[in-house]
Chain A
């Protein structure tokens, strides 16, 4: 069965960087697009970014464009999110999600349990 395990969250000061990772298993990782979705405490879901199956296409939400970079390593079945210039508004639970297909415009089909990022001085 699909398993997605996020890591890398923690407390970080405003303006600093953080890199999240997601280890995938139970499916052919190289055949599917992958998403990051976040949820601020007590708030709704916000889509962050998506990468295509081969890493050739990426899309970002407006609030993170230019600051965050999504990437993948198919040989290691790993998804990453490099987050720069972090602000308090980036405080959230970050979920990794497997897409329903290989491209970037397919839905989030399976979700990990999330990793919590807190931006605070």
Chain B
């Protein structure tokens, strides 16, 4: 059971928009930045969003992140077939001695 909760799956058709949620607690999302990673099939994860809503250079502006309280969201607009991937949220967790925690991942299917 992951510390951060994500829906296991999401889907959309090309051109549509989709949102993936990530729910945590005050010790992680509530008090720290949220990060999003994209993992294309058979490849290593790639940083998609950092510090809640910042995009690394090279990431299209179709991808956006937001955070409110103990929850965060990743929004993808204008879906493309190459967006089909697994998406993970992550945050530092201040409880006990501190650790990084991930969501269980959301498999996005572009229909």
Which residues does A use to contact B, with CB under 8 Å?
35, 37, 44-47, 50, 59-62, 95, 100, 104-105, 107-114
Contacts and interface: CB of A to CB of B under 8 A. Distances in A.
Range for the number of chain B residues in contact with chain A: 20 to 34
A111 B86 CA distance: 16
A interface majority secondary structure: strand
Interface of B: 2, 32-33, 35, 37, 39, 43-47, 50, 56, 86, 88, 90, 92, 97-105
A44 B44 contact: no
Contact of B100 (A35, A109, A110, A113): A35
Contacts of A113: 43-44
Given A44-B104, A45-B88, A59 B47 contact: no
Contacts, number: 62
Nearest to A46: B102
B99 A114 contact: no
B35 A111 contact: no
B50 A105 contact: no
Nearest to B46: A111
Given A109-B50, A110-B47, A111-B45, A45 B99 contact: no
Given A45-B37, A45-B88, A45-B105, A108 B47 contact: yes
